[in-house]
Amino acid sequence: MFCRMLLSVLIRQKKKLFLIALTVALGVSLATAMLNVMFDVGDKVNQELKAYGANLNIVPRGSAVINEMYQLDNNDSGQAVQYIKEEELVRIKMIFWAYNIVDFAPFLTTQATFHDKPITVVGTWFNKHLNIPTGDQVDTGMLAMKSWWTIEGNTMTDDNLQGAMVGESVAKQWNLKLGDTIDIISTKTNKKFTLTINNIFHSGGAEDTQIYVSLPVAQNIADKSGLVERVEVSALTTPENELARKAAQDPNSLSRTEWDTWYCTAYISSIAYQLEELMPDVRVKAIMQVAESEGSILQKTQLLMLLLTILSLICSALAISNLVTANIIERSTEIGLLKALGATNTAVAMLILTEIFIIALLGGFFGYFIGFGFAQIIGHTVFGSFVEPKMIIIPLALIMVILITFLGSLPALRIMMFLRPTDVLHGR
């Protein structure tokens, strides 16, 4: 009898129940889209932020005090300049979190003269191909890390030992153009080096007053074969929390459980620690302005997604409440007759909830796939890549359907419980 009554209601009330299903589908679709993006947004936001520079700086252990986070001053008189061996840099991709190292580039800064005027020459990797002892192969270098630079000319390569990238300020000062040749003289060896301008770049910073060359060229100018001065590293990291901050102060203060959690999580402090483990002659400093900004942006983005999810569920619950209440009032005569025939409030409530839950689950089913489609649109539009499906969203979507349907039905069920057969059957 219960099934016959349920089937009868589903057929007779199909238009009104369709509105309930549509409401659930819209609410679940928005919530599903936001949750999919929220669970996937971490790596994507981190990847986007990697375009704005390094978050780790590797310098020789015991070197002179770092005056600036991005630009070391190793040329002060009276201070012994220390270096890192270039051959050790492959170890950067051999740590536990090797795949979180997006890019890295070494730098060697030296001084030269151009038209009897001092000029800074910086050697680096532009897009270096490395064979890692683990068997992996990577391409890394400065160009990927400085993607916001405006560069004129053909892409600079590491095997171009006669080419140079000239800063915009230098080019304007000396009226230099692409293809021009310049002669610079090393202040270390007094040797002359002839370079062809391969690129003119605009960075918006101090780099515009410098000349960039392949690392071997700078090593010849500085007479420092096989050595580099510092290394900038761009790594995908997990936002800092209390554990990470505690470890950054003193890793030895952690308990064994805390240590394992910290070491096996991609905190910027744990990545820095692992780099120092494999490269004992260096010190790795986190560029906290970048790291903290990344964590703050990520947390705020995820909070925004969560708030949108909650608001969509609240709106859906309110809409369902209105629809179910209207349905109860319209069926008040039918409900009164059921009560007059002996049906209890619990039995009537079970009938109403069952039909609503069936329709809500149907709406939630379609809402999940619609929401996943919305997530792909958001991912492709904002991040230029698709959002991977998260299996945890399926049980969450089911919970959301049950939650908004039950909460939305409570006001209507309360009205139903106070309906008296004598009133509704007599039209009062």
Listing DSSP states for 298-359 in one string gives HHHHHHHHHHHHHHHHHHHHHHHHHHHHHHHHHTHHHHHHHHHTT--HHHHHHHHHHHHHHH
According to the model, what pLDDT value does residue 77 have? 41
Looking at 286, 316, 334, which one is the last position of a domain?
Answer: 286
On whether both 24 and 62 belong to a single domain, the answer is no
Q: Which residue has the tokens 């070494």?
A: 106
Name the band, by pLDDT with cuts 50, 70 and 90, for residue 409.
confident
Same domain, 299 and 282: no
269/142 same-domain check: yes
**Residue located via tokens 């101090």:** 206
Separation of alpha carbons 293 and 304, rounded Å: 16
Do 262 and 321 have their domain in common? no
Choose one of 265, 286, 307: the last residue of a domain.
286
Q: Which pLDDT value is given to residue 42?
A: 65
Q: How many domains does the chain have?
A: 2
**Phi, psi at residue 392, to the nearest 5°?**
-65, -20
pLDDT tens string 374-387 = 989 888 887 777 88
Euclidean distance between CA atoms 28 and 363, whole angstroms:
8
Alpha carbon distances (Å) from 186 to 111, 112, 153, 228? 7, 4, 26, 17
Query: What pLDDT, on the 0 to 100 scale, is given for residue 173?
Result: 92
CA distance 76 to 69: 16
Name the pairing type of β-strands 163-167 and 192-202: parallel
277 with 310, same domain?
A: no
43: Cβ contacts below 8 Å, ≥ 6 apart: 236
What pLDDT, on the 0 to 100 scale, is given for residue 108?
96
Q: Which of 234, 259, 286 is the C-terminal boundary of a domain?
A: 286
Residues 162 and 118 in one domain: yes
Contacts of residue 1, Cβ cutoff 8 Å, sequence gap at least 6: none
20 and 169, same structural domain?
no
Note whether 205 and 89 are same-domain residues: yes
Model confidence, pTM: 0.68
Q: CA-CA distances (angstroms) from residue 406 to 26, 350, 399?
A: 17, 12, 11
Structural domain boundaries, residue 140: 55-286
Q: Are residues 104 and 190 in the same domain?
A: yes
Question: Does position 144 have pLDDT exceeding 70, yes or no?
Answer: yes
**Pair 31, 76 in one domain:** no
What pLDDT shows up at residue 241? 81
* Mean pLDDT (whole number) for 401-408: 88
Any residues with CB less than 8 A from the CB of 296 and at least 6 apart, and which?
239
Q: Are 192 and 302 within one domain?
A: no
Same domain, 365 and 217: no
Quick one: average pLDDT of 174-198? 94
